[in-house]
């Protein structure tokens, strides 16, 4: 009877030992799903982070403190009122995409990652929008998105968070701001039209001045060519006279005088022809030259 009792007791101990070993083995193996990380503490202190797959831990000492998703998280419809550098108040809507890259930071440095990211967005976006004017928000939105994302990355890095995307998806202006912008655009349109009209008039004046200058230059060039031709002709006549051609020159002069008198006499308006005292000398000189020939 005592032997059976001893056998039963040893069997119970063996079963308990087997169960203990099985439970220990189960507790020592941690299978982490894809796109997740497990943050493990040992005796209440951070020990290590388990990546996806099969991981071994020390049972009873190591505990899984948190299960952190490392997939991209999307925050949409973040709407806030901002003030630009030119003191215009308007509302913007943002989209932010982030993911946890250091799970231990996201677990032990902040209690709620989503609230942290939203808070950073509101704070940093207001600061960045305050550096630019409203026109830049609408016309240079891509570069502004880059600046916002860089500012968010620098701030979120201390919490093990990576901001992969941050964009302004919508800009909503108040009615009074829209009216003021319409007036500014109309004034700008009128100003540009006045400038274009003034530039056109200025160009027309410049072209007219250039045309007048060109005409004067061409006339001056023509006078210069005529003067040069006359000087060259006179030079040739002078050279011919020096070589004995003075009689021929006098004959040509007399001949031109006779032609002029003939044209004057043939005119229907001429009634009386008055000849200068030396006019007949032309006829005399011409007759004398012909006689000599």
Q: What is the pLDDT of residues 18-40, one digit of tens each?
A: 888 888 888 888 999 998 999 99
Query: What is the residue range of 144's domain?
Result: 73-173
| pLDDT for the residue numbered 287 | 46
Number of structural domains in the chain: 2
Angle at 102 between CA 98 and CA 103, to 5 degrees: 95
Classify residue 212: in a domain, yes or no.
no
Mean pLDDT, rounded, of the chain: 80
Q: Do 107 and 21 share a structural domain? A: no
Long-range contacts of 20-25 (CB under 8 A, 24+ apart): 23/59, 24/59, 24/60
Classify residue 157: in a domain, yes or no.
yes
Last residue of a domain, one of 48, 69, 90: 69
In this model, does residue 102 exceed pLDDT 80? yes
**Measured between alpha carbons, how far is 56 from 37 in angstroms, rounded to an integer?**
14
In this model, does residue 77 exceed pLDDT 80? no
Classify residue 10: in a domain, yes or no.
yes
For residue range 161-194, list pLDDT tens digits in order.
998 888 888 888 878 777 777 777 788 888 888 8
Q: Do 144 and 97 share a structural domain? A: yes
Classify residue 244: in a domain, yes or no.
no
Classify residue 62: in a domain, yes or no.
yes
Q: Do 94 and 161 share a structural domain? A: yes
Classify residue 31: in a domain, yes or no.
yes
Classify residue 108: in a domain, yes or no.
yes
Question: Which domain CATH number covers 141?
Answer: 3.30.479.30
For residue range 230-280, list pLDDT tens digits in order.
777 767 766 766 665 566 556 666 666 667 666 666 666 555 555 554 544
For residue range 42-53, list pLDDT tens digits in order.
988 999 999 999
Last residue of a domain, one of 143, 173, 203: 173
For residue range 182-230, list pLDDT tens digits in order.
777 788 888 888 888 888 888 888 888 888 888 888 888 888 888 887 7
The confidence band for 2, taking pLDDT boundaries of 50, 70 and 90, is low
Which of 258, 245, 263, 262 lies closest to 286 in space, CA to CA? 258
| DSSP-assigned states of every residue in 184-203 | HHHHHHHHHHHHHHHHHHHH
The confidence band for 292, taking pLDDT boundaries of 50, 70 and 90, is very low
Classify residue 223: in a domain, yes or no.
no
Residues 140-159, mean pLDDT to the nearest whole number: 85
Q: Do 78 and 44 share a structural domain? A: no
Q: Do 163 and 107 share a structural domain? A: yes
Last residue of a domain, one of 37, 69, 101: 69
Q: Do 103 and 36 share a structural domain? A: no
For residue range 52-71, list pLDDT tens digits in order.
999 999 888 889 999 999 99
Q: Do 111 and 37 share a structural domain? A: no
């Amino acid at each position: 009877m005592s032997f059976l009792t001893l056998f039963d007791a040893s069997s119970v101990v063996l079963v308990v030992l087997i169960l203990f070993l099985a439970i220990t083995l189960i507790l020592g193996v941690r299978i982490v799903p894809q796109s997740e990380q497990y943050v493990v503490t040992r005796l209440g202190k951070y020990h290590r982070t388990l990546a996806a797959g099969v991981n071994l831990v020390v049972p009873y000492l190591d505990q899984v403190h948190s299960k952190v998703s490392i997939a991209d998280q999307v925050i949409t419809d973040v709407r806030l009122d901002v003030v630009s550098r030119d003191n215009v108040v308007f509302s913007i809507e943002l989209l932010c995409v982030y993911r946890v890259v250091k799970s231990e930071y996201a677990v032990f440095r902040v209690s709620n990652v989503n609230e942290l990211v939203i808070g950073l967005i509101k704070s940093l976006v207001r600061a960045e929008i305050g550096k630019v004017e409203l026109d830049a928000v609408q016309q240079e939105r891509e570069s502004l998105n880059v600046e916002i994302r860089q500012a968010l990355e620098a701030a979120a890095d201390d919490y093990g968070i990576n901001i992969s995307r941050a964009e302004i998806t919508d800009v909503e202006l108040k009615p009074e701001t829209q009216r003021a912008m319409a007036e500014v655009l109309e004034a700008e349109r009128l100003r540009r039209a006045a400038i274009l009209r003034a530039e056109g008039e200025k160009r027309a004046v410049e072209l007219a001045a250039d045309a007048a200058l060109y005409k004067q230059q061409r006339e001056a060039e023509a006078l210069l060519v005529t003067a040069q031709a006359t000087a060259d002709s006179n030079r040739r006549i002078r050279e011919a006279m020096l070589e004995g051609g003075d009689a021929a020159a006098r004959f040509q002069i007399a001949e031109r005088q006779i032609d002029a008198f003939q044209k004057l006499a043939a005119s229907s308006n001429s009634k009386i022809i008055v000849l200068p005292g030396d006019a007949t000398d032309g006829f005399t000189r011409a007759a004398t030259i012909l006689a000599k020939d």
